[in-house]
Every structure is written in C-alpha cells, then in structure tokens.
C-alpha cells in the first residue's frame, strides 16, 4: 500500500476536480492505496467525507480548511517537483491522458511508499463502474444539499421520462471561441426531438443553467413541452443543481464536466450537443458516459425502464 498525494488539480472548478478526484480514488481502492488530496480543500466543505485520507471515508482529516491547507499544498508541490519523497507522475491538461487501473492501461505504476500525482488528465472510466457504490458514498453532498436533493427526487412523477437539460452559457460564449456554446433554441430543438420520439413517456424537461431562465421563454419557443425550471433551495446552488441532474433519466446539454460528473454519479448518460465520435476534445470522452446520436439516447432510455 502506498500513500498517494494529489498535489495539483490545474486549479479547475468543482466538476473538473470531482472527475479527477474520483478517478484517482477508484485507483486507490483498486490497489489499496491511501489517498490525500489537499488540492480539494476549497470544495471539501460541500461533502461529508472528502476531508481526509480517502481510503478511510468518514475519518476527519486536515484538508478541509483552505487557508490552513495552503502551505501544505505548496510544500507538497515543491516535494513533488524535487522528487525527494517519492516518484511524481504528471498529466497536465494538454498532456496525454493517463488511464488508471482498473481501466486497461499501459501506464507503468510507480513503486514506492509515496506517489505524487500532478495535473488533471488522470482518468478511470472502468474504475467508476467497478467501484461505483463506494464513489457514490464517498462523494455524497453534505447537508442541507443532500436532503434538498432527496426531497426533489422523491417528488419526481413516476412513470415519466425525466430529462435534465444543462444550459451552460456565461463563460461558454467566449471559451475556446464559443466551441461549446449552444443557443437556447438549439437546446429546445434537442428537447423537441426527444419529446417526439418518446411521446408515450410524457417527458418532463428540468432546466438547469448558470444564467437565470424563465418558464415564459420556453413557453414561447416550445409551448407543447413540459418544462420545469430548477430552483435551488440551499446556499449551494451549484451543488444542488449538480446532484439533482444526477437523478434524471437522461441529460442533455453542451459538452461540460458538470453534466459528465452528474451522469457518472447517477449512472445515467448525457447527450452532449455537437459532440462527434472523433472529437478532438478528449476531456469529454475517454470512455466516460456520453450519447452521440438520438438512437443511442433511445437505447439508454429503454435501458432505464422508461418506455
């Protein structure tokens, strides 16, 4: 068993950090390693069990207070760069992806009592499947988000197809020249396609967005669709939206790790608008959940028992 230190996550936002953290966590479960992730300190307060060594969930740890953890992060980064306490594996955002066991890989796992990981491009899709139950338990949200999500899920009308629509605007207007930006009309067009193909399920479209949305704008574009605007009820709206999305039967939206994490956690799929099978942006691929075509979405919906 080794002590694994995740020392740098490329300063990414919540969903990116969760994707990285869980990928490494699944590897540590597989190998029996003990994982420390001080780089997650900014978000640890939103979770019950992500403060300490991740192979002993629930045990309080030192990585929950960002200010107190800053010097630890700097010290570990320096140690990893000098390689004085153990080998360092780097997988920065533009580096080749490192697939971790149990995902098939040609990666040569370092030997030693301490292993340092630096970067964001560590992935483990097979680990998400094999160790899903432990990931769900470890990465569950803290109160009051957990209870708010549970209440929202309990209120979903049974027997209907519940589609989570993630509308990422804001920063996506400019990010990579608008590569992942889709208009409201484009989202509604995808919603119409699903509604027409699955009319018997009486689809309900739950709208999640990083900008304010109204029922009136959807009524004007698609008056026959059953649309509900998700309204967070806790002081952590992003967390609440993220884990409500995970409760849906199918997710639709622009390519984003936000919907990707929700799909992984909820064991569902996300239809990333505009994604191609040969897409050069492997951040949203690498064996993780995705839907490329409507027939793929149809098969997934049938597999969920919603017909």
Q: Which tokens hold the place of 259?
A: 């919907």
Give the pLDDT confidence score for residue 69 in this predicted structure. Answer: 54
Residue 298 Cα to chain centre, angstroms: 22
Rounded to whole angstroms, how far apart are CA atoms 89 and 189? 44
Rounded to whole angstroms, how far apart are CA atoms 130 and 18? 17
Give the pLDDT confidence score for residue 137 in this predicted structure. Answer: 92
- pLDDT tens-digit readout, 16-27: 899 999 999 999
Tell whether the model's pLDDT for residue 1 goes beyond 70: yes
Confidence of residue 39 (pLDDT cuts 50, 70, 90): confident
Q: What is the pTM of this model?
A: 0.89
Rounded to whole angstroms, how far apart are CA atoms 209 and 228? 12
Residue with tokens 């930006």: 181
**Which of the residue ranges 88-97, 145-154, 170-179, 294-303 would you say has the lowest mean pLDDT?**
170-179
Which helix (H) or strand (E) segment holds residue 245: the answer is helix 237-245
**Which of the residue ranges 87-91, 106-110, 162-166, 260-264 would you say has the lowest mean pLDDT?**
87-91
Residue 96 Cα to chain centre, angstroms: 20
Tell whether the model's pLDDT for residue 66 goes beyond 60: no
């Amino acid at each position: 068993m080794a002590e694994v230190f995740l020392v740098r996550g490329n300063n990414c936002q919540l969903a990116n950090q969760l994707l990285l953290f869980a990928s490494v966590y699944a590897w540590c479960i597989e190998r029996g390693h003990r994982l420390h992730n001080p780089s997650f300190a900014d978000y640890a307060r939103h979770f019950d069990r992500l403060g300490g060594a991740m192979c002993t969930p629930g045990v309080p740890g030192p990585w929950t207070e960002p200010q107190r953890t800053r010097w630890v992060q700097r010290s570990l980064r320096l140690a990893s760069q000098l390689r004085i306490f153990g080998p360092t594996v780097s997988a920065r955002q533009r580096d080749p992806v490192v697939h971790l066991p149990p995902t098939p890989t040609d990666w040569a796992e370092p030997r030693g009592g301490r292993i340092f990981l630096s970067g964001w491009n560590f992935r483990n899709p097979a680990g998400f499947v094999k160790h899903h139950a432990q990931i769900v338990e470890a990465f569950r949200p803290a109160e009051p988000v957990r209870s708010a999500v549970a209440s929202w899920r309990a209120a979903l009308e049974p027997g209907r197809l519940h589609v989570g629509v993630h509308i990422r605007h804001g920063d996506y207007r400019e990010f990579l020249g608008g590569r992942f930006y889709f208009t409201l009309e484009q989202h509604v067009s995808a919603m119409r396609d699903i509604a027409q193909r699955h009319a018997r399920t009486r689809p309900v479209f739950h709208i999640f967005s990083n900008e304010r949305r109204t029922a009136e704008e959807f009524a004007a574009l698609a008056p026959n669709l059953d649309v509900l605007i998700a309204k967070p009820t806790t002081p952590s709206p992003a967390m609440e939206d993220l884990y409500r999305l995970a409760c849906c039967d199918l997710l639709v939206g622009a390519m984003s790790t936000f919907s990707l994490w929700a799909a992984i956690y909820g064991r569902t799929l996300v239809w990333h608008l505009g994604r191609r099978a040969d897409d050069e942006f492997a951040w949203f691929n690498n064996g993780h959940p995705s839907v490329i075509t409507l027939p793929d979405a149809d098969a997934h919906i049938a597999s969920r028992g919603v017909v």
